[in-house]
Amino acid sequence: MTNTWALCALWVGLALAATLLAIWFKISTALSEIVVGTVAQLVIGVFLTGLFGFAQGGLAGNTQWITFLAGTGAIVLTFLAGAELDPTIFKTKWREASIIGLAGFFGPFLGCTAIAHYVLHWAMMPSWLCGVALSTTSVAVVYAVMLELGFNVTEYGKAILAACFINDLGTVIALGLIFSPFTIKTLIFVVVSIVVFIVLPFLTPRFFKKYGGRVSELEAKYLLFFLFAMGGLAVWAGSEAVLPAYMIGMVLAGTVGKDHSLIRRLRTLTFGLLTPFYFIRAGSFVSVPALMAAPVTLLVLFGAKSLFKAVAVYPAVRIHKYDGKAGAYYTLMMSTGLTFGTISALFGLNHQIITQAQYSYIVGTVIASAVIPTMIANSFFLPHHLLPHHQAGKKAEKEVMRPVPAEEG
Amino acid sequence: MGSPVFVGIQRILVAFDASPHAEHALDVALAMAGDMKAKLFVISVIRPPEPAESAEFHAVLEDGQERYEKCFVPLRERAKQKDIELETDIVLGHPAEQIIHKADTIQASLIVMGKRSHTILHRWMLGSNSERVLRYAHCPVMIVH
């Protein structure tokens, strides 16, 4: 690559196009950027090779500065996801949340691993990675539906939301620990992490109170310092930088997470510069020819993900007596988060755990499981509250469809 | 006095998305509510991006709440000047779904909404909210062009 600014203009231009598409079709920017990245790589790679001097590797997604920006995007995005946790949820619903969340993680994790290994005949390590990538849950999708139907204030809604965080925590921990050899470095990483996670919630608000609120954006530098430092330690130990980022987000959710002004500034940095590089890069590694060569693989993985998520979550929810119509909503946990799904797949590709074809199938499945439920819902639109229901189901529906605010505390 | 067809209209629901079409619909609804001494309900729906992604979703939610709250300030003033009882609501979800649900909840006599001109592709991909409300609402619907 010879012209950094031209390459940068190309990427930002693609980000701009992706954002316009997201606005026109009311889809998430992340999804739009992944798709634009895939199409742009295909078009530029196939048709414009050699042009402008940067087309040798298509979008040149492995250029060092692009890798850095994309990696930082993943770290900050993961931090923001962790910071959205409502700590009070865990105080009352930690038991249900843990059981449902762990079931939601282990079901697809073990199930998809088994399917990848025994049905698709992938080697063991790629199969584990496939399991990790497809074990995630989109907290935002679940939260959106909860808000829409008013469940976010119910005991039921709070438990499911907390379960989603536990589910994703399982994914991040698995990603951070399964693929790294357990050495003295791992031990140092774990010990230092525990100390940092304990100290940060006490140190951060005091530090911000004393030095924060200035135009020099001390808060952003402070957070980035810890995110980079812990990320560096994680990588040194053979783990993944998003693991400490998610944990730091969770432990600071009660303090930094409530500072809307700071979170807003971080979002500007994240959406304006970092995440376009992350998602377009993730999309650019998807091989369309590989997907077209074996579409059945995609169907198998999508089926496995949906099946094992449902099989695992359903009994866990039943145990806690969430009955009737509630079933329709916990199945939302089947929706995969684009962020954690692609982070896991990219980790596998970067560490040569999976091939580009396997990466393409995993990312394809992640996108499908995020998009297909929405497409079905839009295609067969019918207002929820007008849906016909059986007399026997009425009692259960009343319990669930008319939310009762949870007791405070 | 309004025309005989509007006799008995006591609760008017306006779907408001801050677009010029919605502003126009709001003007019409305000005039009708003033004439008929009807209570005016205004609902604004924040539609999350699909599929929702965590950081973006929260940003869209906060942005929508702020934007609509700002729009409601002059609206409240206008309603006060015309002595119209006004209730505003900001909800999240599918616009058609939430408008119909709100209309059922408040037992609206009439839904007023603006008509947005979408491309064929847009209609095919996402459908038209006004068409969906027309199809499923349990009360008369007025589409203002």
pLDDT reading at B142 higher than 70: yes
* CA-based end-to-end distance of chain B: 23
Chain A's closest residue to B124, CA to CA, is A379
Q: Which CATH superfamily is domain B9-144 in?
A: HUPs (3.40.50.620)
Q: What is the pLDDT of residue B97?
A: 85
Q: Which amino acid is at A15?
A: A
pLDDT reading at A361 higher than 90: yes
User: Is B80 touching A (CB cutoff 8 A)?
Assistant: no
User: Is A26 touching B (CB cutoff 8 A)?
Assistant: yes
Q: What is the DSSP letter of A247?
A: H
User: Is B120 touching A (CB cutoff 8 A)?
Assistant: no
User: Is B115 touching A (CB cutoff 8 A)?
Assistant: no
pLDDT reading at A72 higher than 90: yes
Q: What is the pLDDT of residue A49?
A: 62
DSSP string for residues in A4-45: HHHHHHHHHHHHHHHHHHHHHHTB-HHHHHHHHHHHHHHHHH
Tens digit of each residue's pLDDT (9 = 90 or more) over A365-401: 988 887 776 666 666 655 555 554 433 344 434 433 3
Tell me the ipTM for this assembly: 0.73
Tell me how far apart the alpha carbons of residues A222 and A209 are, in angstroms, rounded to a whole number.
13
Say if residues A167 and A333 touch (Cβ distance below 8 Å): yes
Distance from CA of A189 to the nearest CA of B (A): 27
Residues in a beta bridge with A348: none
Task: Report the range of poorest mean pLDDT among A11-25, A61-75, A239-253, A309-323.
Answer: A309-323
Tens digit of each residue's pLDDT (9 = 90 or more) over B31-57: 999 888 899 999 999 988 877 777 778
Distance from CA of B117 to the nearest CA of A (A): 13
Q: Which of B44, B54, B62 to mutate to test the interface with A (most CBs of A within 10 A)?
A: B54
Q: What is the pLDDT of residue A116?
A: 96
Q: Sheet of B110-114: strands edge to edge?
A: B86-92, B39-46, B11-15, B110-114, B141-144
| pLDDT: which is higher, A53 or A5 | A5
- Cβ separation of A138 and B54 shorter than 8 Å? yes
Say if residues A238 and A185 touch (Cβ distance below 8 Å): yes
Using an 8 Å CB-CB cutoff, list chain B residues near A270.
55
Using an 8 Å CB-CB cutoff, list chain B residues near A81.
54-55
- Cβ separation of A264 and B59 shorter than 8 Å? yes
Q: What is the pLDDT of residue A340?
A: 86
Using an 8 Å CB-CB cutoff, list chain B residues near A264.
59, 62
Using an 8 Å CB-CB cutoff, list chain A residues near B136.
382-383, 386
Distance from CA of B113 to the nearest CA of A (A): 18
Residues in a beta bridge with B14: B42, B112
Q: What angle do CA B136, B142, B144 make, to 5 degrees?
A: 125
Q: Which CATH architecture has domain A64-386?
A: Up-down Bundle (1.20)
- Cβ separation of A28 and B53 shorter than 8 Å? yes
Q: What is the pLDDT of residue A331?
A: 55
Q: Which of B44, B53, B120 to mutate to test the interface with A (most CBs of A within 10 A)?
A: B53
Distance from CA of A168 to the nearest CA of B (A): 12
pLDDT reading at A75 higher than 90: yes
Tell me how far apart the alpha carbons of residues B140 and A409 are, in angstroms, rounded to a whole number.
44
Rounded to 10°, the helix A29-47/A4-25 angle is 130
Q: Which amino acid is at A403?
A: P
Q: What is the pLDDT of residue B29?
A: 92
pLDDT reading at A323 higher than 80: no
Q: What is the pLDDT of residue B96?
A: 87
User: Cis link prior to B51 (omega < 30° from 0)?
Assistant: yes
Closest by CA position to A285, among listed A112, A40, A73:
A40
- Element at A347 (helix H, strand E): helix A338-350
Tell me how far apart the alpha carbons of residues A314 and B122 are, in angstroms, rounded to a whole number.
36
Could you tell me the two tokens for A388?
A: 């016909």
Distance from CA of B127 to the nearest CA of A (A): 8
Instruction: Give whole-number Cα distances, B9 to A113, A268, B100, in Å.
Output: 61, 46, 17
Q: What is the pLDDT of residue A365?
A: 92
Instruction: Give whole-number Cα distances, A59 to A30, A65, A249, A343, B74, in Å.
Output: 18, 13, 31, 19, 49
The pTM of this model reads 0.82
User: Is B51 touching A (CB cutoff 8 A)?
Assistant: yes
Residue spans per domain, chain B: 9-144
Tens digit of each residue's pLDDT (9 = 90 or more) over A76-135: 989 988 888 877 777 777 888 888 888 889 999 999 999 999 999 999 999 999 999 999
Mean of pLDDT over chain B: 84
* pLDDT average, residue stretch A191-213: 92
Chain A's closest residue to B125, CA to CA, is A25
Q: Which residues of A158-178 are buried (b: 16+ CB within 10 A; e: fewer)?
A: bbbbbbbbbbbbbbbbbbbbe
- Cβ separation of B126 and A337 shorter than 8 Å? no
Tens digit of each residue's pLDDT (9 = 90 or more) over B8-39: 788 999 999 888 888 889 999 999 998 888 99
Instruction: Give whole-number Cα distances, A313 to A108, A322, B53, B65, in Å.
Output: 10, 11, 21, 33
Distance from CA of B128 to the nearest CA of A (A): 11
Tens digit of each residue's pLDDT (9 = 90 or more) over A325-360: 555 555 555 566 788 889 999 999 999 999 999 999
Instruction: Give whole-number Cα distances, B98 to B44, B47, B65, B90, B103, in Å.
Output: 9, 10, 15, 10, 8
Tell me how far apart the alpha carbons of residues A375 and A371 are, in angstroms, rounded to a whole number.
6
Tens digit of each residue's pLDDT (9 = 90 or more) over A264-321: 888 888 888 999 999 999 999 999 999 999 899 999 999 998 888 888 877 776 666 5
Say if residues A367 and A34 touch (Cβ distance below 8 Å): yes
From the list A26, A29, A139, the residue facing B126 with the nearest CB is: A26
Rounded to 10°, the helix A64-83/A260-269 angle is 160
pLDDT reading at B61 higher than 90: no
User: Is B34 touching A (CB cutoff 8 A)?
Assistant: no
* pLDDT average, residue stretch A135-145: 78
pLDDT reading at A19 higher than 90: yes
Using an 8 Å CB-CB cutoff, list chain B residues near A27.
49-51
Could you tell me the two tokens for A171?
A: 């994914």
Q: Which of A26, A149, A271, A375 to mutate to test the interface with B (most CBs of B within 10 A)?
A: A26
DSSP strand E in B18-139: where? 39-46, 86-92, 110-114
Q: What is the pLDDT of residue A57?
A: 63
User: Is B98 touching A (CB cutoff 8 A)?
Assistant: yes
Give chain A's radius of gyration (CA, Å). 21
Residue spans per domain, chain A: 4-53, 64-386
User: Is A223 touching B (CB cutoff 8 A)?
Assistant: no
Residues in a beta bridge with B45: B91
Using an 8 Å CB-CB cutoff, list chain A residues near B96.
381, 383
